[in-house]
Amino acid sequence: MRMRKGDMVVVVTGDDAGKTPRKVVRVLEGGERILVEGVNRVYKHVKRGHPSSPQGGRLSRELPIASSNAMVYCSTCNRGVRVGTRVTETSRERYCKKCKGSLGVIGRQKADA
């Protein structure tokens, strides 16, 4: 899985392409789709008497986008980058393929049996 909840991403295609880095709110369908804060906003029209909106009207909400339409943001490079994984002595981590900087630890390395 390339993207995780809490990652900063840059949208590269679609109506919201090129916006400032946004936060991933949720990862859906095994990593195929992601819900990004402030991206792909639509209006849902709600009838009066609905529990979330008693007076009715239009609710603005975000819909998921394909994870292939976004790239993980590297704060060192200040741009969206491709991500790789590498194994260190104590853990596995994701890294920026451009500057080779760490993007966070994935998990601990398994002990040899």
Domains in the chain: boundaries:
8-81
Q: Residue 58 and residue 48: Cα distance in Å, rounded? A: 10
Helical (H) or strand (E) element with 82: none
Q: How far is CA 20 from CA 53, 70, 78, 88, in A?
A: 31, 12, 10, 31
- For the chain, how far is it from start to end, CA to CA, in angstroms? 27
At residue 112, the pLDDT reads 59
Q: Residue 7 and residue 45: Cα distance in Å, rounded? A: 30
User: Averaged over 6-13, what is the pLDDT?
Assistant: 93
At residue 46, the pLDDT reads 86
At residue 34, the pLDDT reads 93
- pLDDT tens-digit map of 46-96: 888 878 778 888 889 999 999 999 999 999 999 999 999 998 888 888 999
Helical (H) or strand (E) element with 17: none
Q: Residue 10 and residue 60: Cα distance in Å, rounded? A: 21
Please say whether the beta carbons of 58 and 82 come within 8 A: no
